[in-house]
Structure 1
Amino acid sequence: MITIRKKLVPDIQANKVTYGKANTRKFIVVHETDNTRLGADADAHARLQYNGNSRSASWHYTVDDKEAVQSFEHAWRCWAAGSNTGNNEGIQIEVCVNSDGNYQKAMQNAAELVAKVMKDENIPIQNVVQHNHFSGKNCPRNMREGKILWSKFITMVKNASGNAQQQKLAIDNNKYRVLTGTYGTRQAAENVLDVLKHRFGWVVYIEPDGAKWRIKTGTFTGMAVAQAGANKIKTAKLAKVTNIVAE
């Protein structure tokens, strides 16, 4: 069962990258991020939106092989579908294609998310469409190229629909930070900080530890999310040692 977490974009930022509220919620529009970089997962894209996306784009959910993160409530008319109808009447779901993720699992999670949104908003399966449906854009690219056929994805959604009421929400609201092991020079720590800040979209700090330096992240909500962050740091080979501390 997919875990769905909220990291909602503040209204002051949302008003800059949407058409405001009053989404009629007739369609679910499936996209792919087209971002294959290491670490470009749901958390990274959600933080990008939360911190102020430089692109004129917005979407309701990002899904990867571990979770779905909601950035906008369904009432917002996000800029994603490439047409007024798609934006004003669609709930936009972006599926991650980061090279360090599992595409097949991400699509399974997306199917479960679509099934839940269908149930919540009473949207019929025939109104689950590709981005291409509204704009002609080659999106979702991998699906359209046959990595997973659209017909198979729709079958996955139908199979997930029977269990949609069992979808679980993250319930650990405690705050945690991730600390790396130490680096011998401040420059080494700054190199890691640059990646975490600009590629992952995290809030991060450098702290002295005697004659050495370490990185401290901003807060994560929930131990599972903090652990995923720590794992991302190790997977990207930015630190051999990480520690999670409660706030």
Structure 2
Amino acid sequence: MSTIRKKLLTDSQANKVTYGKGNAKKYIVVHETDNTRSGADADAHARLQYNGNSRSASWHYTVDDKEAVQSFEHTWKCWAAGSNTGNNEGIQIEVCVNSDGNYQKAMQNAAELVAKVMKEEGIPISKVVQHNHFSGKNCPRNVRAGRISWNQFIAMVVACTGSVQQQKPIADNNKYRVMTGTYSTIQAAENVLDVLKHRFGWVAYIEPDGKLWRVKTGTFTGMVAAQAGANKIKTAKLAQVANVVAA
């Protein structure tokens, strides 16, 4: 896995969408987001939680084909597993299934993340379970359908346990923005703005540049996150040019 990044909710935010602190940390619970929309990656789901999820749901990590983003420290009892035991004793990991992502790579990253959390918390492989284990929900849906079978995934986790290394959180706390190249009409800029705000869940706004227009995002913490944002804009073909600038 290339990156494990933290975008933690404040205690006041977390108290609104969890059962509070005191997680017994006996299980690792694997989910899938079930969100196949383009752009519905780990960053988008982490921002959804950080900006105030309208659903009564929460989870510790979201992982995609490029990174994992942590929203809660392990001690929080998140609302994800559908039962008191699962919520109060589980560390919840959501795997992205966005159509513009690589599902195989996302599952490999999830396996590496599970192995890392197992090592950190002393959780045995027998306590790595599906969301279905606690609530009977058909989740993780693709795993249960055999796209990558559960036995294959567990084997991937086991293969990672011998080589997993602790990763330190990114120390770059500087603020950055992403700025697109110019658009010839304000309508074109507004179309991009709509995607950034409503599909990606970002803060963004339009800036005039002479007779042209640019779109600029809100702030990212750290160059890694900002560069990932710029790459996401270009991958979605919203702009040919997306530059990272200091906030």
TM-score, normalised relative to structure 2: 0.96
After TM superposition, give the deviation of residue 166 of structure 1 in Å: 4.5
1:161-190 Cα offsets, whole Å, 9 max, x none, are 112225454343332211001122223222
- Determine the structure 1 residue equivalent to 2:152: 152
Match of 1:24 in 2: 24
Match of 1:165 in 2: 165
- Which residue of 1 is the match for residue 129 of structure 2? 129
Task: Give me the whole-angstrom Cα distance separating, in 2, the residues matched to 1:155 and 1:163.
Answer: 14
Relative distance call for 1:224 and 1:158 in structure 2 (3 A) is same
2:238 matched residue in structure 1 = 238
2:241 aligned partner, one-letter code: V
Q: Distance in 1 between matches of 2:55 and 2:114?
A: 25
List alignment gaps of at least 5 residues for structure 2.
Answer: none
CA contact (8 A) 1:2 1:113 kept: no
CA distance in 2, matches of 1:199, 1:9: 21
**Following the alignment from structure 1 to structure 2, what is the Cα–Cα distance between the partners of residues 138 and 78?**
19
Q: Partner of 2:9 in structure 1?
A: 9
Partner residue of 1:216?
216
1:45 aligns with 2:41: no
Q: Is the 8 A contact 1:2 1:168 kept in 2?
A: no
The number of residue pairs the alignment matches comes to 247
**Alignment check: 8 A CA contact 2:61 2:72 kept:** yes
Q: Which runs of 4+ in 1 moved over 3 A?
A: 166-169
**Counterpart in 1 of 2:191?**
191
Which residue pairs with 2:138 in the alignment?
Answer: 138
State the Cα distance separating 1:86 from its structure 2 match. Answer: 0.3
Kindly indicate whether the alpha-carbon contact (under 8 Å) linking 1:2 and 1:167 is maintained by their aligned counterparts in 2: no
Partner of 2:95: 95
Residue type matched to 1:110 in 2? A
3-state SS, counterpart of residue 82 of structure 1:
coil
- Structure 1: stretches of 5+ with no match in the other structure: none
* SS of alignment partner, residue 52 of structure 1: coil
Q: Please report the TM-score for the alignment, with normalisation by the length of structure 1.
A: 0.96
Secondary structure, aligned partner of 1:165: coil
Question: Which whole-Å CA distance do the structure 1 matches of 2:206 and 2:34 have between them?
Answer: 31
Q: CA deviation at 1:222?
A: 2.5
Give the 3 Å change call, closer, same or farther, for CA 31–157 of structure 1 in structure 2. same
